[in-house]
Amino acid sequence: MKGRVVILGELHGLEAAALMVDGQLEDLLVDASEAVALAPGAICRGRVERQMKGQGGVFVRLPGGEKGFLREVKGLAPGQNVICQVTGGTEPGKALPVSLRLLFKSRYAIVTPGAPGLNVSRRIRDEEVRAGLQALAGVVMEGSDFGLILRSAAEGAEEGEIVEDIAAMREMAEAVIADLKGEPELLVDAPGPHEEAWRDWADPLPDEVVEGDFGDHGVLEAVDALLDPRVALAGGGHMMIEPTRALIAVDVNTGADTSPAASLKANIAAARDLPRQLRLRGLGGQVVIDFAPMPKKDRAVLEQQIRVAFKGEAAETSLAGWTPLGNFELARKRDRVTLASLLEGRE
C-alpha cells in the first residue's frame, strides 16, 4: 500500500484513526475518553489549590474531582479560578499536567490567547503566499489581543475556508476565556480521533481517506507489534522498549550480526525508528537508551542521527546527551495517554 493513507475506524471498540505511509503505521489516534476523565487537549475551568513548595507548581481542582498540576504559578492565589488545558496523559494516581497557555486548534488555524502576534507556519516558504495569509489573518483578527498561527495546511486552501476557520476559533476562544466564574467545569472537550486526524493530518494531504476495518489495511498487525517491547530493526538487530514508573528504558542489540560496524548500524537504525515508536506507543517522560557497545569516536555520528530523527516531532523533545555510564538520555513530553493503558483488557 503505497502513499499516504488515512484510515478511520475502530480499534477494539474504540474510535481510532491510523496514518499509513507506504504501508508502515506512522501515527495512531485512539479515543481516550473511557480510560481518562479528561483527555489531552481538553480545556477546563479549574480552581487553584495549595502551592507545592519545592516542586515548582500548584495543584488545580478540575471537574469530576480530578486534580491537575500547573507549573505556571506567578500571580496565582489559592481559591482563584483559572482556564487551563490538559497537555498530556499521566499514570493512575498522579495529577494531570495542565497549562494556562491555551491552544484553540483547527485545520488551518491555531488561536493562542496567551501569545499575541500573527504568525504563518515556516513550512510555507512562498513569500507571496505568506504575505497574503498574514493580511487575511490581520483582517479576521482585527481588534483581538489573541495571537494566531496559520498552519501549513492553509497553503492552497480556499480563502473562504480559512476565514471561516479563523473566525470560529476566535469566537470559541473569546467565549471560553470569558467563562471564568463558577465551579470547575469542562468547557471544551478533547477532539475525537477522527476529528483530530482531519485537523492534524492535512499536510501533506493524504492520497486516500478510507473509512472501514483496520484489519483490511495491516493496522491490527502493527498495533499488536506496538504492545510487544521487542522492536525488530533493519539489518537484524532489535531494541527493547520497556516503560517503568520512573523512566522508559531502551536497550539496543545487534543480534546475529558480528561485523565490525554491527553496533553502529543497529544503533543508527534504532535512533531512526525510536521517535515513531514512542509516538505510536504514547510514551513520554525521561528516556534512557543503552545503545549497543561502540567506540566513543562513533558517538558524534550517532548523535547527529538522533537529532535528525527527532527534529520533526510534534511533541517537545529535549536531548540531554551522554551519561558517564555511556547511556543517552532524552526527555519527551507526555502528550498522549499510553496505548497499552487504552487497550488494556480489550479484545
Asked whether residue 84 falls in the same domain as residue 108, the answer is no
pLDDT of residue 49: 92
Give the residues of the chain that fall short of pLDDT 50.
none
Q: How many CB atoms lie within 10 A of CB 198?
A: 17
Q: Is residue 288 part of a domain?
A: yes
Residue 109 lies in a domain: yes
All cell numbers assigned to 270: 534504532
**One domain, residues 335 and 232:** yes
Residue 304 host element (H or E): helix 299-311
Look at residue 193 and tell me if it is in a domain. no
Whether residue 57 is found in the same domain as residue 84:
yes
137 and 111 in one domain? yes
Q: Are residues 121 and 88 in the same domain?
A: no
Q: Are 335 and 40 spatial neighbours (Cβ–Cβ below 8 Å)?
A: yes
Specify the pairing of strand 43-52 against strand 24-30.
unpaired
Q: How many domains does the chain have?
A: 3
Do 288 and 267 share a structural domain? yes
Summarised one tens digit per residue, pLDDT across range 252-287 is 999 887 788 899 999 999 999 999 999 999 999 999
- Smallest CA-to-CA distance from 294 within 328, 260, 271 is with 260
Same domain assignment for residues 239 and 289: yes
What is the extent of the structural domain holding 108? Answer: 104-178
**Residue entry with cell 521487542:** 230
pLDDT at 347: 66
**34: in domain:** no
What cell was used for 2? 503505497
Phi/psi for 276 (5° steps) reads -65, -40
Complete DSSP assignment for 259-289: STTHHHHHHHHHHHHHHHHHHHHT--EEEEE
Q: Note whether 95 and 174 are same-domain residues.
A: no
Long-range (24+ apart) CB contacts under 8 A made by 228-234 are 231/270, 231/273, 231/277, 233/266, 233/269, 233/270, 233/273, 234/269
Please tell me whether residue 323 adopts helix, strand or coil conformation: coil
Domain endpoint, select from 116, 149, 178? 178
The reply to whether 95 falls in a domain is yes
Domain membership flag for residue 252? yes
The domain that holds 306 is classified in CATH as 3.40.630
List the grid coordinates of 73.
504559578
**Percent of the chain having pLDDT more than 70?**
99
Task: Give the CATH number for residue 51.
Answer: 2.40.50.140
Assess contact for 190 and 105: CB atoms under 8 A.
Answer: no
Residue 21 lies inside a defined structural domain of this protein: no
Sign of CA dihedral 298, 300, 305, 307: positive
CB 57 within 8 A of CB 76: no
Same domain, 239 and 335: yes
Q: Is the link from the previous residue into 97 a cis peptide, with omega within 30 of 0?
A: no
Determine which helix (DSSP H) or strand (DSSP E) holds 120, and give its type and residue range. strand 118-120
How far, in Å, CA of 137 to CA of 124, rounded? Answer: 15
92 and 122 co-located in one domain: no
Q: Length of the chain, please?
A: 347
Task: Determine the pLDDT at residue 315.
Answer: 92
pLDDT reported for residue 93? 79
Same domain, 250 and 330: yes
pLDDT tens figures, 51-92? 776 677 899 999 999 999 998 888 889 999 999 999 998 887
Global pTM reads: 0.93
CB 185 within 8 A of CB 81: no
For residue 330, is it within any domain? yes
Do 91 and 135 reside in the same domain of the chain?
no
Residue with cell 498522549: 336
